[in-house]
Structure 1
Amino acid sequence: MEETDYNLPEKNDLYEHHSFVVDKGQQPLRIDKYLMNFIENATRSKIQAAAKDGNIRVNGTAVKSNYKVRPLDDIRVLFEHPPYENLLVPEDIPIDIVYEDDEVLVVNKPAGMVVHPGHGNYSGTLINALTFHFDNLPNNSSERPGLVHRIDKDTSGLLVVAKTENAMTHLSNQFAEKTSEREYIALVWGNIEDDEGTIEGNIGRHPKNRLQNTVFLDEEAYKGKPAVTHFKVLERLGYVTLLSCKLETGRTHQIRVHMKHIGHTLFNDERYGGEKILKGTTFTKYKQFVENCFKVLPRQALHAKTLGFEHPTTGEWMSFTSETPEDIVQCIEKWRNYSKHAE
C-alpha cells in the first residue's frame, strides 16, 4: 500500500484490514460502537486501542474512538501486519471432487467446512485445501483463488471452482447475469400454505446484530441488495415443511434470511433463531422429540443440491446433483414418522 494513500505519518507498511462506506441514512454514532456492528469478533477495547494507535482513518484522517460517524464517511481500519485471511497456507485436506477437467472443478462441500479464510477461521477452509491440491488457481475480484461463489460454513453441497482465468471470467459472468442454476433443499419451521412462491426483498447487514443479515423494504431498500428466492413445497411434515429453493440472486445467507422474513426460519439455524422450538405443542414428549432432531442435525437444514452452468470453453450446459447428506435425511425421516403418528 502506498504511504501517500492515507497521509500516513512515518508509519510504513500499514495494511488495510477493513473498509466501510457509511449508509446515507446513518444517525451520528461513535465510531467504536459503529465498528462493533460491522467487524466480527471485535471488542470495543480492541477498536479503541486501534484508534489510539492512529489506525482508524475516516476520509483519510486518523480519528479518535469518540468520533461520530456521518453518512458516506469512508472508514478504513489499518494495521502493521497483513490480514490473516491473505496469508493462505496450503493444507492437505481431502476434497470431494464431483467433476474435474482443465477449466473447472465441481466439489461437494461438507457441512462445517468454511469456504474461505476470514475472521476466526484462518485454516481448515476449502481454499486452504484447493491451494494444496491445485497450482495457479486464478484469483477472483476479492483475491480468493478459484472461488466463483460460496456457501455458508454449515450448509453442505455443490460449488464450482474456476481453474483458469478464462473460466473465472466466464463463470463469474454467468452468476452475475443469473444464468447459472442453483437449487437447495431446506427444512423450515411451520406449514407453508402456498405450494410455491417467490420471495423478493433487498438483503443487507442487520443494523443491530452484526452476524445477521436482514430484509430491507420500501424506503429502506437502499440499505440492501436485490435478492430473489423461488420456493416449492416438496413435503409437508406437520410443524415443519421440506422445500426446494432456487436462487435467482446469491446474497449472503439469502435463503436463511428470506425464510425468516416470511416467518419460516430454517430448522436448527442457530444464527437466525431456528434452534428454538418455533412451532408445535407444549408437550414434554414433543420437546424431547425436537431436541433429538437437533442432535441428529446439529446445523441449519440447508443443502446445495443442484448446480448448473454453461461450460466456459465448450458452451455445453452442465448440471450436477448431490445426494442429500445423512444428517438431513435422518432428520426428515424423524419428522415423517412423527407427523404420521400425530395425525
Structure 2
Amino acid sequence: MCSLRAEEGKLIVKVQIIFEDKALLLVNKPSGLIVNRSQTVKQPTIQDWLEENFKFKIFDWPKYRSGLVHRLDKETSGLLLIAKTPQMFEKLQDQFKQRQVKKHYLALVHGRVFPEKGVIRAALSRNPFNREKFGVFLGGREAKTSYKIIRYYCNKQLGDYNLLEISPETGRTHQIRVHLKYWGYPVVGDSKYAGRKTARADRRWCPRQFLHASFLAFQHPQTGRQLDFFCPLPAILKRALETLQPSP
C-alpha cells in the first residue's frame, strides 16, 4: 500500500497494489481520484502517485502517460493497469484495441432491470450542449455494453434496485454510465447522469457512485500467460448494499 501526498505533506489517499512484476503494475484505484493529469486538473492524480512512488523507464516518454494503459472515471474504483516500459505499454494497449481484454464492473442501478441479461448498443459522442457530458447521438462512436443481473433489491422507503455485472465491449468515455441511463436504469450516486436530485438522495445511504471495476483478464505482455484478477467491492459499497433488502 503506497500513499499519495499533497505538496504540503498532508496524506491524501492510499492506493493498494494488487500485482507487480518487471513488466507491469496493477492497482486498486480508490473512488474520488482522477487517473491522468491535465491543465484543468487541480488535485493529485494516479499519475502523480506513480511518479512519486516509482521510477519506471516509461516515465521518460510523456506520450505514454506514465504507463497508464487505460482509464477509470474519477468516482469509479477498482482495477487499473500500468505498464513499466514503452514496449509493454504498446503490447497491452494493443490488447485493449483488439478487444482481447475482459473487463467486468459491478454497478448498483435504480429500477428493476428487464430482461435479466442483455446487450446495450447505442453510439456515443460528447454532448453538444454540455461538453462535460456524453450521450447517445446519431453519428456517435460505436459502443456496446453487456450486462446481467446479480441480485435484485427492494426497499420500502428507497425503492427497487439491481446489482449488475457489466461488461463493456468498447471503451468509450462514461460508456457504462451513459448506457445505463439511456436504458432507464441510472447508476446509484451518479450526479452527472442520474441527476443531482436523485444522486443527492442516493448519497444519504450510499456515499459514493456505485460503480466498481471488479475483474480484469489479459495476456501478460512479456510471457503470454493468461492473467485473471478479481477485486472485491469496497467496504463502503458493501455497507450500502446492507441498507437494502435483497429479494428473490
- TM-score class, shorter-chain normalisation, is 0.7 to 0.9
1:298-343 deviation per Cα after TM superposition (whole angstroms, max 9, x unaligned):
2221000001110001100101111101121111111226x69xxx
Task: Provide the residue aligned with 1:316 in structure 2.
Answer: 225
Task: Provide the residue aligned with 1:283 in structure 2.
Answer: none
- 5+ residue gaps, structure 1: 1-88, 279-289
Q: Considering only CA atoms, is the larger Rg found in Structure 1 or Structure 2?
A: 1
Q: Does 1:270 align with 2:191?
A: yes
CA RMSD of aligned residues (A): 2.3
- Counterparts of 2:216 and 2:45, CA distance in 1: 21
- Seen in structure 2, the aligned counterparts of structure 1 residues 191 and 137 have a Cα distance that, compared at 3 Å, is farther
Which of 95, 99, 104 is residue 24 of structure 2 equivalent to? 104
- Counterparts of 1:94 and 1:192, CA distance in 2: 35
Which of 142, 166, 172 is residue 226 of structure 1 equivalent to? 142
Q: What amino acid is the match of 1:97? A: I
Task: Provide the residue aligned with 1:78 in structure 2.
Answer: none
- Counterparts of 2:57 and 2:190, CA distance in 1: 33
1:247-306 deviation per Cα after TM superposition (whole angstroms, max 9, x unaligned):
11111111000001111111110011345349xxxxxxxxxxx94x52342222100000
Mapped contact 2:73–2:174 kept (Cα < 8 A): yes
Q: What amino acid is the match of 2:241? A: I
4+ residue stretches of structure 1 with deviation over 3 A?
Answer: 91-94, 139-143, 274-278
Q: Does 1:243 align with 2:164?
A: yes
Task: Provide the residue aligned with 1:148 in structure 2.
Answer: 69
- Counterparts of 2:62 and 2:117, CA distance in 1: 35
* 1:4-43 aligned within 5 A: none
- Counterparts of 1:142 and 1:205, CA distance in 2: 24
Task: Provide the residue aligned with 2:4 in structure 1.
Answer: none
Give the TM-score of the pair, scaled to structure 2.
Answer: 0.86
Which of 42, 53, 58 is residue 133 of structure 1 equivalent to? 53
- Seen in structure 2, the aligned counterparts of structure 1 residues 137 and 149 have a Cα distance that, compared at 3 Å, is farther
Instruction: Give the fraction of aligned pairs with identical amino acids, expressed as a percent.
Output: 36
- Counterparts of 1:199 and 1:193, CA distance in 2: 12
Q: What amino acid is the match of 1:101? A: D
1:53-74 deviation per Cα after TM superposition (whole angstroms, max 9, x unaligned):
xxxxxxxxxxxxxxxxxxxxxx
- Counterparts of 1:180 and 1:143, CA distance in 2: 19
- Counterparts of 2:153 and 2:14, CA distance in 1: 36
Q: Equivalent residue of 2:124, what SS?
A: strand
1:162-210 deviation per Cα after TM superposition (whole angstroms, max 9, x unaligned):
0011210110000000000110000111111111000111111011111
- Counterparts of 1:102 and 1:171, CA distance in 2: 14
- Counterparts of 1:322 and 1:94, CA distance in 2: 16
Bigger proportion of residues as strand:
2
- Counterparts of 2:190 and 2:131, CA distance in 1: 16
Task: Provide the residue aligned with 2:114 in structure 1.
Answer: 193
Q: What amino acid is the match of 1:212? A: K
- Seen in structure 2, the aligned counterparts of structure 1 residues 141 and 257 have a Cα distance that, compared at 3 Å, is farther
Mapped contact 2:106–2:214 kept (Cα < 8 A): yes
Give the TM-score of the pair, scaled to structure 1.
Answer: 0.63
Q: What amino acid is the match of 2:219? A: E
Count of aligned residue pairs for this structure pair = 233
- Counterparts of 1:300 and 1:123, CA distance in 2: 19
More relative contact order, 1 or 2 (CA 8 Å, 6+ apart): 2
Q: What amino acid is the match of 1:295? A: R
Task: Provide the residue aligned with 2:34 in structure 1.
Answer: 114
Instruction: Please state how far the C-alpha of 1:142 moved relative to its aligned partner.
Output: 4.7
- Counterparts of 2:57 and 2:149, CA distance in 1: 39
